[in-house]
Structure 1
Amino acid sequence: MPRLLRAIGLLGLMWVAHAGAVDKLRMAGDAWAPYADVSLLKGGLATDLISTALSRAGYATEYEQVPWARAVHGLSEGRYDILINAWYSDDRTRIGQFSADYLINRLRFIKRKNSTLDFQNLPQLHSHSIAVVRGYAYSPAFDNDPELKKIPVANFSTAVRMLAAGRVELTVEDEYAARFALSHESPDVQDNVEFLPTSLAENTLHILVSLKNPEHDKIVARFDQEIAAMKADGTYAALFKLHGL
């Protein structure tokens, strides 16, 4: 009998360990302060919101900060379970399942201060070069306009430095992310660029859960449920305040 009890106990421990391993989700994304950056408090606002919601849903998480294109490719192969900051695009539904939105981003163009460029509609910009981050989805109209002269770069910092140096005529980014990034650039960059008044779009921000994970629909449902609960109980607002937003 003692041997049987020990065997049952060992099997129980193995089951618990296995369950914990299954429920540990591998998250990935690129540096996108103030929403996500390993150097920030709790990895930034979005990372904190997502980790908190998933923890409340019963999932442990681990996060890897990598270039965006690598994060998307890793999700498509199943090396990552979750992209933490994804704007919706039809193409991405082939590799992952989107959650409901958990944040809203306001996308704005940025130009050099001595530029007379204006933006009311995309055809106005067809003859102008625009630095964009490789692999990002901005808005359906912007992404699918073949007449736009998009210059792919690795990140927004590269884009805005190219803009300040006159190598491109515009770049585009979420307003809070752009303002945060600009605060860490040199005065030569900060003093020579400015936002255009009209926004390109307001994008909803989602997690994208890999279709390679057999429980992707369950993860999304639990995440959505906990984000709604966090909004109702005050946790959501408290995390915005904690991160200064």
Structure 2
Amino acid sequence: MRIVCVSLCVIVANQAEQLRMVLHASPLRSAKLACKIYSLFQLQSFQRKRMPLRYAILAICFYVCHGFAYCAPKEVVLLIGEALDEKGSPRALAPARRALLSYLEQALNVKFEIRMYPWARVESNAANGEGIVLGLSKNVDRLARFHFSEAAYANNLWLVTRSDSRFSFNSIQDLKGKSIGAVRGFSYGPEFDLAKNKVFHVEEDISSRSSRLKKLLSKRMDALLVYQLSTDSAEEVEAGINAFMANEVKDMALPAKVSFSVLPKPLQVDFIYFCIAKNKDDGLIARINAALANGRKTGDLARALKGP
């Protein structure tokens, strides 16, 4: 019996890695491999006797179960700044972010547990080790506290105005004396942070795009900031905003033909990163970087972000 057990371990060990890989890829392939392993058992002689069927079945079941445990996705807490609808309820993730997360879940064999908070709380909770963050921009203070990934993708930061109140924009100095709508608790990068409430005034609000856009139409600000994928042009962003707000502005007393306008030059290009408190990184950032690099090389990442 001891000889049987030792030989059994040797045979199963030779198949272990192959079984683990195919278990993650396809149940059908897993079943075929299990049959292959059983055939090996049947061909193997132990003291001139074939292995009893019950030992072969037990060994296959053990490694199938072990393989599924090995391949079970790891839970990863992911913190994201909440975006609210006009009723103040959290909105679903933007398609590009959902596609990015789905790609990484597959590539890393993880399952993200998404927790949405206001941005100030996201940063505070992340610093205390609650989880990894998607969407914090880099600044000097954050670079000292967090380990950042390579850029996952890029957003353009657009200035949106009323169509009858457009102005020329080429640099941040062109915002002098103006009131700019921004999301409360969110950093828009070092240049913006240094200039706010000095070069221009910031009108802070909750992360509800429709609520902020209505305030813009009511002339409570001169322009507001909107992030959109860097692959979208100013014209595409403008058309999307006007379509999004079509039903929201029906009851507003507006002059004829007044709508939303997106200035042709973005305020900045903002790269989107993952980050985690430096003392909590167990190698996840390095794995994310490797998955992003591989996705760019194969084109899988670009296809995922582009969507169907």
| TM category, shorter | 0.7 to 0.9
1:76 and 1:212 in contact (8 A); partners too: no
User: In the alignment, which residue of structure 2 is the partner of 1:233?
Assistant: 298
2:166 and 2:261 in contact (8 A); partners too: no
What amino acid is the match of 1:209? Answer: I
| Separation of aligned partners in 2, 1:131 and 1:50 | 29
Which of 215, 222, 229 matches 1:162?
215
Distance change in 2, residues 1:73/1:220 (3 Å): same
User: In the alignment, which residue of structure 1 is the partner of 2:12?
Assistant: none
Distance change in 2, residues 1:96/1:51 (3 Å): farther
What TM-score does the superposition give when structure 1 sets the normalisation length?
0.76
1:108 and 1:200 in contact (8 A); partners too: yes
What amino acid is the match of 2:183? Answer: V
Which of 80, 92, 113 matches 1:39?
92
Q: Which runs of 5+ in 1 are unaligned?
A: 1-8
Distance change in 2, residues 1:126/1:214 (3 Å): same
Measured after TM superposition, the shift of residue 182 of structure 1 is 5.0
| Separation of aligned partners in 1, 2:299 and 2:162 | 41
What amino acid is the match of 2:135? Answer: N
| Separation of aligned partners in 2, 1:132 and 1:236 | 30
Which of 258, 261, 264 matches 1:194?
261
User: In the alignment, which residue of structure 2 is the partner of 1:77?
Assistant: 128
Measured after TM superposition, the shift of residue 59 of structure 1 is 3.0
What amino acid is the match of 1:77? Answer: N
Measured after TM superposition, the shift of residue 195 of structure 1 is 0.7
Larger mean CA deviation between 81-90 and 100-109 belongs to 81-90
User: In the alignment, which residue of structure 2 is the partner of 1:100?
Assistant: 150
Higher strand proportion: 1
| Separation of aligned partners in 2, 1:187 and 1:241 | 30
2:96 and 2:306 in contact (8 A); partners too: no
Q: Percent identity?
A: 19
| Separation of aligned partners in 1, 2:265 and 2:299 | 32
What TM-score does the superposition give when structure 2 sets the normalisation length?
0.62
Answering whether residue 179 of structure 2 is matched by residue 129 of structure 1, we say yes
| Separation of aligned partners in 2, 1:214 and 1:236 | 23
Q: Which runs of 5+ in 2 are unaligned?
A: 1-61, 85-89
SS in 2 for 1:230: helix
Measured after TM superposition, the shift of residue 183 of structure 1 is 3.5
Distance change in 2, residues 1:175/1:45 (3 Å): closer
| Separation of aligned partners in 2, 1:90 and 1:191 | 41
User: In the alignment, which residue of structure 2 is the partner of 1:147?
Assistant: 199
What amino acid is the match of 1:84? Answer: L
Which of 140, 154, 160 matches 1:90?
140
| Separation of aligned partners in 1, 2:242 and 2:151 | 26
Answering whether residue 169 of structure 2 is matched by residue 119 of structure 1, we say yes
Measured after TM superposition, the shift of residue 125 of structure 1 is 1.4
What amino acid is the match of 1:131? Answer: G
Larger radius of gyration: 2
Which of 4, 19, 26 matches 2:77?
26
1:25 and 1:62 in contact (8 A); partners too: yes
Measured after TM superposition, the shift of residue 90 of structure 1 is 2.1
1:55-74 map, 5 Å: 55-74=106-125
| Separation of aligned partners in 2, 1:69 and 1:82 | 15
SS in 1 for 2:265: strand
User: In the alignment, which residue of structure 2 is the partner of 1:184?
Assistant: 244
RMSD: 3.1
Measured after TM superposition, the shift of residue 88 of structure 1 is 2.1
Distance change in 2, residues 1:187/1:158 (3 Å): closer
Distance change in 2, residues 1:182/1:26 (3 Å): farther
Measured after TM superposition, the shift of residue 212 of structure 1 is 4.5
| Separation of aligned partners in 2, 1:182 and 1:91 | 37
Q: Residue by residue, what CA displacement relative to the aligned partner does 1:33-75 show, whole Å, maximum 9, x if unpaired?
A: 9xxx8636xx632233134325422433211222222222211
